[in-house]
Structure 1
Amino acid sequence: MKATVLAVAVLVASTQAFTFIAPMQARSVGRSSALRMADVVDTLAELQGPVLYWGSFGVSLGHEENDIKGYDNFTKFSKALADTGVAKELKSGGPYTIFAPTDNAVDDFQGELTAAIVKNHIHEGKLTLNGITDDVTTMSGKLTYGRRFRKTFLDEAKVGIISEGASCGQTYPADVAADNGIIHAINAVLEC
């Protein structure tokens, strides 16, 4: 009995380590209540991005190179969604697929996140990572599909990067479920 409980606990713990779950809240439906996830905009705002490591710069500060410094989140793209008014469009309807660049990717971008560029990160429909097998039409353009190095690319951005082997590489969330869609992290801004 104890071995079974321990095996279940290990299975649950290992499953949770690789599963990204959107925030949930309860809502009343008639006499019963059902769990409801947040929409894609609110889910993205709360989503934790890939790990940032100290690297060689941390050694002089007393850290190991592979010590975690923090997380690269999606606050800048979330702000651009709100500032351009696109977030309001995504609050209802759907499903949508959002290809969300991390804060570092937005910092590396040499331009302004206009409404057209923000909409170029949104597909009307739900695409899982494994479901991306061809070019993707967005709200303001078309992204070219590519498959290289066992990775999925849209234009030059890697979608849902997963660290392989024993490395301490970064893992970018993919297939993050929300009420009205799904979110995949990417490592570059998708220009129009």
Structure 2
Amino acid sequence: MTSLELRRLTSEFLPAVLALDQLCFGGLWTLEGYQRELESPNSDLLILVAHGSSCVLGLGCLWAILDEAHLTIVAVHPNYQRLGFGQAILLALLQSARQRGLERATLEVRISNQSALNLYQKFDFREAGRRKRYYPDTGEDASILWRGGLQHPNFPNLLTSWQTQICDRLHENNWTLIVTPDTFTTEEFLLTDA
């Protein structure tokens, strides 16, 4: 088994994050943009790295806006997609939003990005509308997705269920996940190396 490490982004990983951003999004954010996010108390930036490595395999970011988590980035290196990494990142972002006391999560996604749409649907995101010609590079519409109930008493049960599914999927692909103490304590985030 190869270990993955889910951790908060620190400045030492910025070059690798910029490379992943370029690979996945063509340079969505600049170095200065990521540095601003690191300094913002309203932003959570999480990375997924091979344990003991500086290679960033996945990235997730949310902005806390009033009672809403706006998911701005969920990215997985193309060579590591469809292994459960995106699910682990999304679960961590939802847990982070819950810890912050946020009530719901929202995001925009290209209407043609079926793999991303499938991922979000697994976590009960629903379409709330469309933003016409949202993506300037292609003029493509964005689907606006919402997921409420993050503070509902049954939401921790959903997190536990998703956690089990994600751990099983990662193990099937010979990966195991370690959550660093600076990211979540065991009580806050249950997805740990079993």
Q: Give the TM-score of the pair, scaled to structure 1.
A: 0.28
Structure showing greater Rg: 1
Normalized per residue, the structure richer in helix is 2
Normalized per residue, the structure richer in strand is 2
